[in-house]
Amino acid sequence: MPGLHVTTEQRYSTLLQQVIFAPNLNAREEFLAEAFELGRGALSQDAIPPDELVAIHHNAILCFSQKNPDMKLCDVVDLLTLPLIEMSMAYGMSFREQLEKQYRALLDKRLQESHRLEAVGTLAAGIAHEFNNLLCSIIGFSELAFEGLSDEEPAKESIQQVLVASLRARDLVSTMLQLARKNSGLPSEEIDLISEINSVIKLVDVREKKLEINFSSGVPNAFITAKPGQIQQIILNLCINAADAMEHCGTIDINIESTTSDECLTGVGESAICITISDQGTGIPPEVQEQIFNPFFTTKEPGKGTGLGLSVVHRMVEDLGGRILVESRTTGGNNGTDFRIILPFVDKDKRGTSCQKKCSLYKAHNHGG
């Protein structure tokens, strides 16, 4: 019986994948019809437990909306879910309610999140000019005052503090600006993940004396399409978080592998690359995990964290057409956190027609915003 579950579920989820990657509307309709035929049968024979079905749909909706950024999430939900709701009517109102409640919650959460990000981005862009001008005077006049004072002058140290603080404010503004999506005019290019990650490791090595980073790659030619600097920023933010979680002492493991296990990205003829960054730090309790990608969410002391790191990472990974997953253990001896980033893969060896098609797909996605 359990074996049967797996296959029906897999077939069902494959069909939904085909819906997601359907080349045109007709094909999409056909796959949808087929999926619901299978779903109906499975439900009536109890071959797929209702909550499994909901989970599969939940994933499909997320992927579909990622693949079709121009489509409103509510339309995506309509497309993938309404037929399912219809067919499940016969199986009782409670199932229907459960489905609707879950999707409503999902919708609300995603909406809230995107509104909040949008608000931060707009706010940052709106005040950037004025704010940067003010900061420019604060920094400049402090430097002038600093130079004008002799070393015995007690005010000299105070001015130094003003300078340090205003340089931190400058970093904060620039981080906030990265939340505004279209912040970089630079075009995307093919980026070598291994050399990007190595450069970040060098940077972290200088800052973190008691920290060791193990980096291994199972993919010799790990190329992806990104804007210059994006990957470094993503990895750096995750490494800083890992270092903080281990109180700056311990080992961070970074690993690259190609993956076909992530159905959401790989489905039909797509290949993906997975970067895992693991630490043996405190771990993240489930109730905190829900919030870590929110802008300004931090558990760190004032001055130690702004809570923008992961929201910038999340935004960038989305821009690259990828996904970020977190897995964390807070109890037992093996506590720690794994962040997995799954990105579309440019396979240098197999670059043929299929790859060209794939690249243009990602380009279209990237430049769509």
Partner 1 sequence: MAHILVVDDDVLIRVMVTKMLENDGHRVTTALDGAEGLRLFREDPPDLVLADIIMPTLEGLQLIKTMKQIRDDIPIVAVSGGSRHISMVDNLNLAEIAGAEATLPKPFTKKELNAALIRAVS
Ligand X SMILES: Nc1ncnc2c1ncn2[C@@H]1O[C@H](COP(=O)(O)OP(=O)(O)OP(=O)(O)O)[C@@H](O)[C@H]1O
User: Minimum distance between the CB of residue 237 and partner 1, rounded to whole angstroms?
Assistant: 19
Question: Should residue 131 be labelled a site residue for partner 1 when binding is judged by CB under 8 A?
Answer: yes
User: Minimum distance between the CB of residue 297 and ligand X, rounded to whole angstroms?
Assistant: 5
Question: Should residue 241 be labelled a site residue for Mg ion when binding is judged by CB under 5 A?
Answer: yes
Under DSSP, is residue 190 helix (H, G, I), strand (E, B) or coil? strand
Q: How many residues bind partner 1 (CB under 8 A)?
A: 28
Of the candidate residues 136, 164, 268, 326, the single one contacting partner 1 (CB under 8 A): 136
Burial of residue 302 (CB within 10 Å: 0-12, 13-18, 19+) is exposed
Instruction: Give the DSSP H/E element, type plus range, for residue 324.
Output: strand 323-329
Question: Should residue 71 be labelled a site residue for partner 1 when binding is judged by CB under 8 A?
Answer: no
Give the C-alpha separation, 141 to 10, whole Å. Answer: 65
Question: Should residue 106 be labelled a site residue for partner 1 when binding is judged by CB under 8 A?
Answer: no
Under DSSP, is residue 165 helix (H, G, I), strand (E, B) or coil? helix
Smaller CB separation from ligand X, 237 or 259: 237
Give the distance, in angstroms, between the CA of residue 349 and the centroid of all CA atoms in the same chain. 27
Smaller CB separation from ligand X, 15 or 242: 242
45 binds, among Mg ion, ligand X, partner 1, none (CB under 5 to 8 A by kind): none
Give the C-alpha separation, 326 to 282, whole Å. Answer: 14
Question: Should residue 349 be labelled a site residue for partner 1 when binding is judged by CB under 8 A?
Answer: no
Select from 28-36, 59-67, 139-147, 268-276 the region that touches partner 1 (CB under 8 A): 139-147
Question: Should residue 282 be labelled a site residue for ligand X when binding is judged by CB under 6 A?
Answer: yes
Question: Should residue 91 be labelled a site residue for ligand X when binding is judged by CB under 6 A?
Answer: no
Angle, helices 155-179 vs 309-319, to 10°: value is: 30
User: Minimum distance between the CB of residue 183 and partner 1, rounded to whole angstroms?
Assistant: 5
Question: Should residue 175 be labelled a site residue for Mg ion when binding is judged by CB under 5 A?
Answer: no
Q: How far is CA 108 from CA 101, 104, 114, 297, 315, in A?
A: 10, 6, 10, 19, 18
Of the candidate residues 300, 348, 350, 357, the single one contacting ligand X (CB under 6 A): 300
Select from 42-50, 74-82, 136-144, 302-310 the region that touches Mg ion (CB under 5 A): 302-310
For residues 42 and 52, the answer to whether their CB atoms sit within 8 Å is no
Give the C-alpha separation, 157 to 24, whole Å. Answer: 66
Greatest distance between any 2 Cα atoms in the chain = 86
Smaller CB separation from partner 1, 108 or 171: 171
Question: Should residue 245 be labelled a site residue for ligand X when binding is judged by CB under 6 A?
Answer: yes
Give the Cβ contact number of residue 269 at 10 Å.
Answer: 10
Q: Which residues pair with 246 in a beta bridge?
A: none
Question: Should residue 150 be labelled a site residue for partner 1 when binding is judged by CB under 8 A?
Answer: no
Q: Which chain residues interact with partner 1 by CB under 8 A?
A: 125-126, 128-129, 131-141, 143-144, 147, 166-167, 170, 177, 180, 182-186
